[in-house]
């Protein structure tokens, strides 16, 4: 039995919750993955996988094996990076997740990181806040960009590096198209509530923030359109008669749409801190150290300021 391969299959099974999808992700057949799980059980003398007609989760013993598997695979990856890299040339895959509203910022970050360090391969992943937290906890993510205010709520053992503070805009069709997207005069949240709105689905943390702002303004809303897709939000405004509420990082990606207008929302003034987060208790790889160095550099901070918040760049 190849122990590392079997442990990798176990981690994939836990992440995907399905034998077929886990096997596909590991590029093996489903019978091969099932046989590897049985071999693990024989090796450790315990039942690891709850068996039924479908995957039903891991046993308590299986969860302990999973935790050890995650640590072993991470240490294996770190060792490979260290052995294959020169001191000043970090290399390897760096898995970085972000909440959907921060993906434009993360995409720019990944491009700059790869330009600085050609040996690093950033894997940019769009994930919900809960998925980010779970990924950091089980070590399937190296770094996450998201809502740092949730760290206290979740009691997670994470370290954060502040990046920017989000402000919110009403995105709507302009009465008169200009040369590019226009930043209009501020509008109260109460007045924005009168518009037909396309909004993210309730399971998204961004939607929770926006709903809370409307309630604080005394004007709770019901969306005209709901979606879990950022692209769908923007295109709904471009192609239809609805508006949407977006943070500055997303508004910055549609600046080329001359038929749109972004209006800063006030009363209340909602500001949401966004930052990078990583596990505080694990040894960082050289690739992660290089990423954190970039995240704190003046050069990168100028890029962030120009493409987030109030879009003052």
Which CATH number goes with the domain that contains 240? Answer: 3.40.190.290
Whether residue 312 is contained in a domain is answered as no
Q: What gap in Å lies between CA 34 and CA 153, rounded to an integer?
A: 38
pLDDT of residue 145: 96
Whether residue 44 is contained in a domain is answered as yes
pLDDT of residue 130: 87
- Beta strands 197-200; 243-247: pairing state: parallel
DSSP alpha helices (H): ranges in 117-202? 129-137, 150-154, 189-192
Flag whether pLDDT at 153 surpasses 60.
no
Domain containing residue 46: 3-73
DSSP code of residue 283: P
Of 175, 174, 169, 211, the residue nearest 187 (C-alpha): 169
For residues 264 and 187, the answer to whether their CB atoms sit within 8 Å is: yes
Confidence of residue 292 (pLDDT cuts 50, 70, 90): very high
Q: Is 40 helix (H, G, I), strand (E, B) or coil?
A: helix
pLDDT tens digit string along 174-210?
888 878 888 889 999 999 999 999 999 998 889 999 9
Same domain for 233 and 251? yes
pLDDT of residue 280: 82
Average pLDDT over residues 242-252: 92
Average pLDDT over residues 101-122: 94
């Amino acid at each position: 039995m190849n122990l590392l391969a079997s442990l990798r299959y176990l981690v994939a099974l836990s992440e995907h919750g399905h034998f077929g999808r886990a096997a596909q992700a590991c590029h093996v057949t489903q019978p091969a993955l099932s046989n590897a799980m049985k071999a693990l059980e024989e090796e450790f003398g315990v039942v690891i996988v709850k068996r039924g007609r479908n995957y039903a989760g891991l046993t308590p013993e299986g969860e302990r094996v999973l935790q050890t598997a995650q640590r072993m695979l991470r240490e294996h990856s770190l060792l490979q990076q260290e052995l294959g890299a020169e001191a000043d040339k970090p290399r390897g895959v760096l898995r970085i997740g972000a909440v959907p509203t921060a993906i434009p910022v993360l995409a720019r970050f990944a491009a700059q990181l790869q330009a600085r360090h050609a040996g690093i391969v950033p894997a940019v992943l769009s994930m919900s806040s809960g998925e980010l937290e779970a990924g950091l906890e089980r070590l399937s993510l190296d770094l996450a960009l998201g809502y740092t205010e949730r760290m206290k709520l979740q009691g997670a053992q994470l370290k954060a590096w502040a990046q920017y503070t989000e402000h919110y805009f009403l995105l709507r069709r302009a009465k008169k198209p200009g040369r590019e997207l226009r930043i209009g005069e501020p509008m109260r949240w109460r007045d924005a509530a009168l518009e037909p709105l396309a909004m993210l689905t309730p399971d998204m943390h961004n939607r929770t923030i926006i709903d809370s702002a409307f309630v604080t303004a005394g004007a709770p809303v019901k969306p005209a359109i709901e979606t879990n897709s950022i692209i769908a939000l923007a295109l709904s405004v471009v192609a239809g008669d609805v508006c949407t509420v977006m943070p500055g990082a997303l508004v910055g990606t549609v600046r080329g749409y001359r038929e749109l207008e972004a209006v800063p929302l006030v009363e209340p003034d909602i500001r949401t801190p966004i930052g990078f987060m990583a596990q505080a208790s694990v040894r960082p790889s050289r690739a992660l150290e290089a990423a954190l160095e970039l995240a704190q550099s003046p050069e990168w901070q100028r890029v962030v300021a120009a493409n987030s918040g109030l879009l003052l760049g």
